[in-house]
Amino acid sequence: MDEKTENKLEVNPTAAPAQEKMAEVDRMALELAKSRRETALAEAKTALAQNEKADLAYKYVVLQLYMKYGLTESDAITEAGEIVRGGARVQAPAKQ
């Protein structure tokens, strides 16, 4: 044999490797786990959207109160519902 044919691997294209099949009960367990994972992901996305909606609703109410009482960004509303003119905390600019 010459060098070129010596390194070749002979493959029979008609002999495919035998594939094993898992038991039906195991396949069903796998499908159920996959389905539960997808359901959990959908529920998480729904919860995130509901959280964002609630946050926007809260900000909208605060905005309405600021407009109603003629407040500016230097004013604040306490948790107890008191208006503090000039009482807003100054936020440091965001670092970049």
Confidence at residue 94, expressed as pLDDT on a 0 to 100 scale? 56
Range of the domain at 43: 23-84
Single pTM value for the model: 0.59
Query: Does residue 5 fall inside a structural domain?
Result: no
Query: Does residue 3 fall inside a structural domain?
Result: no
Beta carbons of 58 and 69 less than 8 angstroms apart: no
Number of domains comprising the chain: 1
> Cα–Cα distance between 86 and 71 in angstroms, integer?
9
Query: Does residue 14 fall inside a structural domain?
Result: no
- At 4-37, the pLDDT tens digits run 555 666 666 676 677 889 999 999 999 999 999 9
Confidence at residue 10, expressed as pLDDT on a 0 to 100 scale? 66
Beta carbons of 76 and 69 less than 8 angstroms apart: no
Confidence at residue 66, expressed as pLDDT on a 0 to 100 scale? 95
Beta carbons of 30 and 23 less than 8 angstroms apart: no
Report whether pLDDT(96) > 70. Answer: no
- At 35-84, the pLDDT tens digits run 999 999 999 999 999 999 999 999 999 999 999 999 999 999 998 989 99
> Cα–Cα distance between 43 and 36 in angstroms, integer?
10
> Cα–Cα distance between 56 and 62 in angstroms, integer?
10
Query: Does residue 59 fall inside a structural domain?
Result: yes
Strand, helix or coil for residue 80: coil
